[in-house]
Amino acid sequence: MAEQQKSIFITGAGSGIGRATAQLFAERGWFVGLFDVNQQGLDETAASLPEGQRISMVFDVRDRAGWARAVEAFGQATNRRMHVLFNNAGVGKGGWLEEMPPEDIDLTIDVNLKGVINGAIAALPLLRETPGARIVNTASVAGVVGSPKMAVYCATKFGVRGLTESLDVEYGRYGIRVVSLMPWFVDTAILDGAPGDGSNFRIRDRLTEQKTPIYPVRMAAERAWDAAHGKDTHYMVGQAAERARFAARFFPGMLRNQLKRMMTDD
């Protein structure tokens, strides 16, 4: 890594928003650390970036020892600098709460919330050594308003939102900003809903049928760039996300009815 080059550590870099963000930051000259539990996806992302501009490693964000190894490898490659930690890894398991397998509930909580906490702790030493460093946590509009058939997922994203706001104050004493990315529905495999693809119910067809916006991953990556540089705490992805944030505050009943129509057959 070049002496003056900035660096970003990305979890969930093997697909979706993580991959698009890695590509965008690399295009703009950053050194990129790629981390994911999926070796094949990670290799595909790595192949799309200049070889001297990235490192990659497989690890599971639920694994604290894995975090320690990944952060150490990243620090060795970047002269102990981490300008941005992009806590992006997540799963989208859903369904009626009483019908969800216990292992899906545990996985969602452990990856989406505990994984983010693990990252914030593991990366702190490097972030403290890097002037102007920050953490960008991927939350969601599901962290603004609850939705049927997404109770556990929403609980984790509300948790990420609260964690972000708390750590922005706590880590402020080290000069570190902590912000969140809050996408609306983004065009990733999570919308396909097939078991093993991050969800166990299918919503893409329903969203298309109802003409609900689905935003490109490049838009989410651009907003991740804004989150890495801007002054706000939460960065919405797409106009629908902005409208949902407004409606959650001023017209919560209307928004709940809209989500019910989108996510259920009732």
What is the C-alpha to C-alpha distance for residues 183 and 4, in angstroms, rounded to an integer? 31
Question: Is 153 a residue of the active site?
Answer: yes
Q: Are 225 and 24 in contact (CB under 8 A)?
A: yes
Which tokens hold the place of 192? 């396909």
Number of Cα atoms under 13 Å in the Cβ half of residue 203: 29
Instruction: Assign 92 to helix, strand or coil.
Output: coil
Q: Are 88 and 34 in contact (CB under 8 A)?
A: no
Q: Are 71 and 57 in contact (CB under 8 A)?
A: no
Region of 165 (left: φ > 0; alpha: ψ -120 to 50; beta: rest) is alpha
Cα of 63 vs its chain's centroid, Å: 17
Residue with tokens 């002496």: 3
What is the C-alpha to C-alpha distance for residues 75 and 94, in angstroms, rounded to an integer? 36
Q: Are 178 and 135 in contact (CB under 8 A)?
A: yes
CB atoms closer than 10 angstroms to residue 264: 12
Q: Which of 153, 171, 215, 235 is catalytic?
A: 153
* β-strand partners of 87: 137
Number of Cα atoms under 13 Å in the Cβ half of residue 228: 23
Catalytic residues: 153
